[in-house]
Amino acid sequence: MSNGRWLLSMFFMLTAISHACAFLQQHGRACRLSSSASWKAVCVDPPPKGTIWQVFPEGTPDIAPSTATGAIGMWSAHSAVFDLRLGSGKQVQAEEVMSVPGAMLLHDVLSREECAKAIILSEAMGYQEHDLLKNTHAAVTWVADLENVIRPLFLRCKPFLPSILDNLRGGAARQLRGLNARLRCYRYQPDGHQTFRLHRDDSFPMSSLDRHHGDRLVWDVSGGSESSVLTFLLYLSDDFEGGHTSFVPRHKEQQLPVVDGVCMAEEDTELVAVKPRAGSVLVFYQTCSLDGDSEAHPMAPLHEGSRVFPTAGRHSSPKYVIRSDVMYSC
């Protein structure tokens, strides 16, 4: 490793640990002051030095992303830092999301302790604040270990996911493959301002770390043989008000006004609002478009991440959520 690259890595590590320590101090107090089950008796240390490292897109130089360009930092972590192979001791249960075809909630996918560990790890990686046209939040990408994180997470949910889906483009039916290792972590402060405005989720190829070097993201490890059909939205916290994932019923889509800076959940009581619950996963259809130009899947819902507010009378945490994708054969 060159001196320049080593210094850059050390800078990001020290900065990330500083953020994680501040987070721990904040939520250490919350454990004592809050009666919420989200943080009660959960004490998690930040990842040890040298156990997380920055990841760069394949074929690019080791240059940190700039918030000015909208780029999101990517990191990975040693398998010992976050390991789901031992199980959570929970029994996953499925719940249909009424009025949103194909959508479901999977409860108790992660335990409260696992959620807390994931939050601390993502904070150590270092969130970057973004204020873009369709979203206002902080984000960081975690390229997770396949054997210790992605596969165990998938196996917890696999019994409830469709094993075979029709191929809209014709050809053989699409077979369930797994989860995308590129985990997009989002943080929404409970200030009534941060949100993710109305949109549909596009699909992605399966991404993963380069096995030879471990610090490069391979965008499409399947070589075009797999892509996502379903969004996999994992809630890590629920100690706040609002922050629902709100879906627009099909019959209402053409009637919605386009208003900058306004959340439709505050304007229309007919929206289907899913309340975040720590450890639960929300699954729903994507557009099945990899280029943003193709016609969207007919079951891909228009939705938003609604504003997050503090809980009256007690401590509130930010909304933390991780997005992955459910992968199928093409």
Per-domain residue ranges for the chain?
3-61+72-81+90-329
pLDDT the model gives residue 277: 98
- CA atoms of 20 and 46, how far apart (whole Å): 6
- Asked if residue 326 lies in contact with residue 228, where contact means CB atoms within 8 angstroms, the answer is yes
Best CA proximity match to 203, nearest among 226, 183, 179, 229: 229
Best CA proximity match to 276, nearest among 241, 248, 249, 311: 241
pLDDT the model gives residue 115: 97
Residue 169 neighbours by CB under 8 Å, 6+ apart: none
Residues of the chain scoring pLDDT < 70: 1-43, 60-71, 132-134, 254-269, 291-295
Q: What is the pLDDT of residues 98-152, one digit of tens each?
A: 999 999 999 999 999 999 999 999 999 999 987 766 677 899 999 999 999 999 9
Residue 235 neighbours by CB under 8 Å, 6+ apart: 276, 277, 278, 279, 280, 281, 282, 319, 320, 321
pLDDT the model gives residue 27: 43
User: DSSP letter string over 93-142?
Assistant: EEEE-TTSTT-EEEESSS-HHHHHHHHHHHHHH--EEEE-SSEEEEEEEE
Query: Tokens 């080593």 correspond to what residue?
Result: 6
Question: Which helix or strand (DSSP H or E) is residue 83 part of?
Answer: none
CA distance readout (Å), 8 to 4, 13, 53, 212: 6, 9, 11, 21
- Asked if residue 51 lies in contact with residue 78, where contact means CB atoms within 8 angstroms, the answer is yes
Helix (H, G, I), strand (E, B) or coil at 230: strand
> Is domain 3-61+72-81+90-329 given the CATH code 1.10.3720.10 in the classification?
no
Count of residues in the chain: 330
**Residue 302 DSSP label:** -
Burial class (CB in 10 A: 0-12, 13-18, 19+), 261: exposed
* pTM flag (> 0.85): no
- Asked if residue 239 lies in contact with residue 38, where contact means CB atoms within 8 angstroms, the answer is yes
User: Which is it for strands 303-305 and 195-199: parallel, antiparallel or unpaired?
Assistant: antiparallel
